[in-house]
Amino acid sequence: MPTRTVVVASSHGLHARPAALFSQAAAKAGVPVQLTKGGKTVNAASILGVISLGIDHNDEVVISVDGDGADELLDQLTELLTTDHDA
């Protein structure tokens, strides 16, 4: 399964708003997307799942995508996580 390791840029981590942007994008993808931090994996389309990982600024997370167009989708999701939405 294609994966990408990303360092989160938002200065307050993935709280409500950045998490919503990320989950929305993952939900729209139409293929299963998973987000992993420190051994815990959640459905990336679930905002509560994403928030419950407690992702902080500068944390390292792994995005995994299954299905067609995985690379393009990974690019798009990586960009969301490497943008500081709190700036």
Partner 1 sequence: MSVLTGVGIGRGVAVGPILRMPEPLPEPDTIASTIGPDSERERVTNALAATAEDIRSRGERAGGKAQEVLDAQAMMADDPTLRSDIDVRIDNGATAERAVFEAFNGFKEMLLAIGGYMAERATDLDDVSQRIIARLSGVPAPGVPTSDVPFVLVARDLAPADTALLDLDRVLALITSDGGPTSHTAILAREKSITAVVGVVGALSLDDGTNVIVDASTGIITVGPSVDQTEKAKATILERAQRAAVPIGPGALADGTHIPLLANLGSVDGVDAALAAGAEGVGLFRTEFLFLDAKSAPTVAQQYTHYSKLLRGFSGKKVVVRALDAGADKPLSFLNDAHEENPALGLRGLRALRASEHILRDQLTALSRAAQESDADLWVMAPMVSTVEETKYFVDIAHELGLATAGVMVEVPSSALLADRILAIAGFASIGTNDLTQYTLAADRMLGTVSSFQDPWHPAVLRLVGEVGSAGAALGKPVGICGEAAADPLLAVVLVGLGATSLSMSPAAIGDVRSELARFTRDQAVAFAQAALAADSPQSAREAVRALAEPGS
Q: Footprint of partner 1 on this chain (CB under 8 A)? A: 12-13, 15-17, 19-20, 23-24, 42-43, 45-49, 51-52, 54
Closer residue to partner 1 in complex, CB, 4/15: 15
Q: Closest distance between partner 1 and the C-beta of residue 38, in Å?
A: 12
Q: Calculate the alpha carbon distances from 87 to 18, 24, 30, 53 in Å.
A: 11, 20, 30, 22
Are the CB atoms for 35 and 44 separated by under 8 Å? yes
**Residue 74 Cβ, how far from partner 1 at the closest point, in Å?**
21
Nearest distance, CB of residue 36 and partner 1, angstroms? 14
Nearer to partner 1, 27 or 62 (CB): 27
Residues with catalytic annotation?
A: 15
- Give the separation between CA 31 and CA 84, rounded to whole angstroms: 26
Pick between residue 13 and residue 81 the one whose CB is nearest to partner 1. Answer: 13
Helix, strand, or coil (residue 77): helix
